[in-house]
Every structure is written in structure tokens, then in C-alpha cells.
Structure 1
């Protein structure tokens, strides 16, 4: 009941987890049928865990190993990872195809990330995104591009090519504004090229719990009563202000021109919504971020927790900008450098994805060598 209320309030429920076992066992379809799940996201960490723990990949790994001879090269490993991950995403896209059709492309989406080693390479990111899009060949796929400085022009370029994009690793409000601007610029270029704007969809993944984790650590180091009272407030406040930017930019004269041409707004997606501090309610980043035309991508534990005891109190985001500003002002008064926090989180996010990708490559290399 809680999840259906969440959907009725305008929040699309996406699962933040994908594996071949989940697809082939029917579990993914079961979550669609019983848990209001209308989309799914992946990242290097999720794929690394799936490959390390899943026996469902053994047959494909043997086939890939048999296609080569001699020592396993770096290119062999890269191509094997590409083949394995794109196959999973294509299969998941087929499972979600009916939802994609019934929502006219709004949901039923499956996201796959470009190689995280390209995070600071604009041209490499564009080429990788286009290759993923063409290889998977499913209209309900979204290509994930990180919101780095190099990622911003890549987002514009990829959107301009008519490819749907999930912008990931968004932390600061300044960067989020730049992400929306990159999307709008891409739509304008697509329109000039005669591409159907109605076929392009995008979300901007604004990370939530990681903001609290970093800010709380700094508040606890201060240790004063005033500082400790601010714990657990930064992540939602940041998201509330991001939603305010969304409302502003998608009600502008510039947007009106694109909307008349068939364009869809880039929805805010609340990412990193699993609670990392056990002292906090396990559904706080779902209950506290209910707003129309948003996405909440949840790990399975959060999904199940919300299904069990989540509450929906209507739109709790719109109109709360002053309250959220007050939280950020209070943090600044405690000496918390907001810009530095965002920089640290972006750097750490990229480092985590790089480490997971390296783990994924190492796992596949070991499996290829064993099969060969």
C-alpha cells in the first residue's frame, strides 16, 4: 500500500540493483508486479557484486574465453565486461518494455554507466555512450554519464544525438544547475538537427545519504550541541533546494519553447537513498523526498522497508526552500564548507566507481583465464 501511495504521489520507484540471476529467476518481474518498481539502475559496484557472486555468468564467460587464444589481454577483459553488462541491460530492458510502452517512455527505464575511467574525458565519454546505446539497441535504455566538468559537454553532445541520459553523481546545487543547462542545450541542438524531442528522456541523479554521511562526520568532529543538532539534515535540504531549481528552470521561457516542440523535463532522481546511519529511520530518504515528477532509486532493503512501514504525506518538498536554506546557513555558521563537501563527495564517488570497475575487470580476467 505504501509503495502504491508513493507512485500516486508522482514518485517513480526504481530499483538500484541488477543481476542476471534477478532477471532469469523472475525476481525482477515479481518486483514489478508486487512492489511498484518501474525502472532499474546499475553502476560499476552493482555489476562487480553480480559477477563475483553469480553463477549465471559462467556459460557466457566460457563462450567469451573460447573466442580467443593465448594469454588474456586487457582488451579481451574490456570487451568481455562490455558484452556481459550490455547483455544484462538488454535483457532487463525487455522485461521493462511493457512499462515503457504503457507510460509513453517515461518509465520502464534501465540505466547503464559508461566506463568510469572516462569521467574526465569528454570525447571518450561521448563515444562510449554512443557505443552502449547502439549495441544494446533498446529505446528504454538510459546511458549514465557522471556530472563532472568533462561530463557536462558530453551530456549535451549525447542528448543532441537523441540518446536518453541518466546524469549521475550530482552533489552540489551549482553543478545541478549546470546539468540542467547541459540538458537544455542538448535538446536545442537535437531540435536543430530535426530529431524528435519527445523520444528523448533524462533524469539527474542527486545523491542524498552520502551528503549526510560527509556532513555528519564534520559535525561530530565539532561535537558542540549546536553542531550535533544539525546531523541528518543536509542531504534532504540539498535535495529540496535542487527541486526548487528544477521547478525554476522547467518553467522558464527557454523551456516553454522546447516543451512546445515535444520535449520532456529532466526529472530529479533521488539516488543513494539507503540509510547509512542506523540511528536514522530506514525510510527517511523516501518519506522526506516525496514530490511530483521525481524518481527514487532504492536498494532492495530500502524498497522492502518502505513497503513494510513507509508513510506518504503528500508533497513534502515543494515550498520548503526557506527551511532548506536555513539548514545550509546553519551549517555554514558551524564552518561547514558546502563547496568543499561537494568536491570531496564527487572525488570519492569517482574513486569508488573506479575501484569497483577494477574489481569487475579483475574478476572477469580471472574467470576468462580459468575458462581458457
Structure 2
């Protein structure tokens, strides 16, 4: 039985995806149980998630032995194991995918984070991952770095569904929407059926609060203190306003929708609360609205199921207040452009670090 909170989120237009995947979740039936009992309708992965999954326990031992015997190099071994997990997860979500007409039932796999500065290789690996998974409900994750925006357009233009990740600023999100629209137009020009292409734009939330709260602490004073814990939600709400302006209310989008296209939904990522002084469902209850996804690590999902109170749409009509929060942040001396630049750089670096560590662990075992 789906929890009341998750059912309420779905009724308000927010799909709940799990921000985690491992072979143990697949083989023990845990992932299937989360679909049945918790109302989970999708999965996202990233290099850190696979690093955790593959570095612990014994679930991958037999496959590592097979790959070793076959002479696989470490990168090939890691991607083989990741692709197998994603393919199996896609199969588990097949019924959800069909019931939602492809909107949910999605499983994401990310290109090598070391390619965040190489659009050509990003496109090549995105195509290869799509072919290797071999399931229509897979989404290929591509980072929203400046240089990879054209890669997003090209991959969508090849008829491949894309999860655009590592979005921190509304300015960059606007560029992502442009890349999405251009990608659909390219896909149509290339002869693809627009109704088969789906996309989400993963907007990171808690990391914004972590960085801005740190700076507010350094600034000090009552005015700065009053803004603690408010930036992440405000930033996401401003992104939702951009979603409305550039997609929902856009004649360009409506023309594409009339030809069968599906809207690119905002996805709230990094939704685990990092500061224990804040409510543990802060980035769930305050970011509810039509055409959205909230991808949660299991601790946030558990908290949501246990005690989250969903009061309906908490996004529509909130942008004026959110803009006021950002004006106040600038007035006390927070350099928002620098915040987002730092967050993007650190986001890429963290994924590269996790991936490098994983390659080292699996390389040693090979």
C-alpha cells in the first residue's frame, strides 16, 4: 500500500523517485517492494551511488571474477556492472513505465563524470550507454556544464531520453530549457517520434543551502541569520517560475506539444537535509507542484512516509517571495554568481572523485 504522503505528492503532481540503486536492492526484491509499498515510480543514480554500491558487500563478487577472467579493464568492468543494474531496474519498472505512458518508470545512468568538459565524448558515451542498456525507459544523465549544453541537444536529437543533472542556478536552467527545446526540434528534423522522448532537469537543492549558509555564517549578524536555510527552497521556486515562463506558457513549447512532445519536468535533487536543525522533509513538503519529480535518498523517503504533511501545491505563486529572499541575500553580501560557480565546480569534482575511487577499488579486485 502506497503511503499517504507519497500518494498526496502524486495527487499534487510530484512523482517520487529513489535516489539510489544497488544489486542488493534488485536481487532481494527491495526495489520491487519500494514500488509496491512506498509508491516509488523511478530511480536516479550517479557515480557516488555506484561507488558505494560496488565497493561494499559481496553482491558483485561473481561478476568481478567473470570480468577478471575475460580480461576486462577497470572502466569496462565498472560500466558493465552499472549497465546490468540499470537494465534490471528498468525491467522492474516496466509496468510503471507503461502505466504512466513513459512519464515515470524511468531509471537514469550517468556518463563518465570526467567527460563534463568534453561534449563530443559525452555524446558518444550517451549513445553507447543507451544502446548497451537496451531499454526504452532508461534516461541518460548529462551534466549541465556550459560546454555540455550542445551535447544535451544532440543526444535528445538522436531520440534518446535525457536527465540533465548538476543544475544549480536559474540562469543555467534557462539555458537547459533552450537546449531541451532545440533537442526536440532536432529530433523531429531527424525523423524521431517526439512522443517517445522524455527529459527531466535535475535542480540541486540542499547543496545551495549548505554553501550559502556557510557564507551567511561568515557574514554574521541578525539580517544574515534570518536567511539561514531559506536559499535552497527559494532557488528551486525561482526555477519553477522559469519552467512556467519558458515551457508551460511558451508558444514554442505548445507547438512541440501539439506534435506529441512531452514536457521536461523539473526534478528536485540533493533533497536530503544536511543541517539537522532543519525539518528532515524540508525539500519535499516545500517543493510540491504539477509536473515535478522529487528524487530522494532512502532516509528522506522514510521520513516522508513517516511524518511528512503534504498540503498540496507549494510552488505555484511563490516566486515573488523567493525573489525577495534572493534580494536579501545579495543585500547582506552573498555573491550568488560565485556561489553557483563554486557549486558546479565542486559538484563535478565530487562525482569525479567518487568515480576515481571506485575505479581504484574495482581495479584492485580485478
TM-score by length of 2: 0.98
Say if 2:41 is the partner of 1:43.
no
Q: Which residue of 1 aligns with 2:56?
A: 53
- CA deviations over 1:258-308 (Å, ceiling 9, x no partner): 111100110000000000000000000000001111000000000000100
Q: Which residue of 1 aligns with 2:356?
A: 358
Q: Which residue of 1 aligns with 2:120?
A: 123
CA contact (8 A) 2:107 2:139 kept: yes
Write the distance in 2 (CA, Å) between the matches of 1:14 and 1:151. Answer: 25
Q: Which residue of 1 aligns with 2:29?
A: 26
- CA deviations over 1:104-152 (Å, ceiling 9, x no partner): 0000000000000000000000000000000100000000000001110
Matches within 5 A, 1:86-125: 86-125=83-122
CA contact (8 A) 1:21 1:54 kept: no
Aligned with residue 6 of structure 1, among 2, 6, 9: 9
SS of 2:21's equivalent in the other structure is coil
Matches within 5 A, 1:1-372: 1-68=4-71, 76-250=73-247, 251-368=249-366
Write the distance in 1 (CA, Å) between the matches of 2:113 and 2:327. Answer: 34
- CA deviations over 1:240-275 (Å, ceiling 9, x no partner): 010001011112111111111100110000000000
Write the distance in 2 (CA, Å) between the matches of 1:363 and 1:248. Answer: 46
Deviation at 1:54, TM superposition (A): 2.8
Write the distance in 2 (CA, Å) between the matches of 1:151 and 1:110. Answer: 21
Unaligned runs of 5+ in 1: 69-74
Write the distance in 2 (CA, Å) between the matches of 1:253 and 1:102. Answer: 29
Q: Which residue of 2 aligns with 1:71?
A: none
SS of 1:143's equivalent in the other structure is strand
SS of 1:290's equivalent in the other structure is coil
Deviation at 1:196, TM superposition (A): 0.2
CA contact (8 A) 1:14 1:37 kept: yes
The count of residues paired between Structure 1 and Structure 2 equals 362
Deviation at 1:2, TM superposition (A): 1.2
SS of 2:43's equivalent in the other structure is strand
Write the distance in 2 (CA, Å) between the matches of 1:8 and 1:257. Answer: 27
Write the distance in 1 (CA, Å) between the matches of 2:156 and 2:24. Answer: 32
Write the distance in 1 (CA, Å) between the matches of 2:58 and 2:25. Answer: 12
CA contact (8 A) 1:153 1:182 kept: yes
Write the distance in 2 (CA, Å) between the matches of 1:5 and 1:317. Answer: 15
Write the distance in 1 (CA, Å) between the matches of 2:189 and 2:258. Answer: 14
SS of 1:135's equivalent in the other structure is helix
Write the distance in 2 (CA, Å) between the matches of 1:235 and 1:183. Answer: 24
Unaligned runs of 5+ in 2: none
Deviation at 1:6, TM superposition (A): 1.1
Deviation at 1:3, TM superposition (A): 1.3
Write the distance in 1 (CA, Å) between the matches of 2:190 and 2:223. Answer: 55
SS of 2:73's equivalent in the other structure is helix
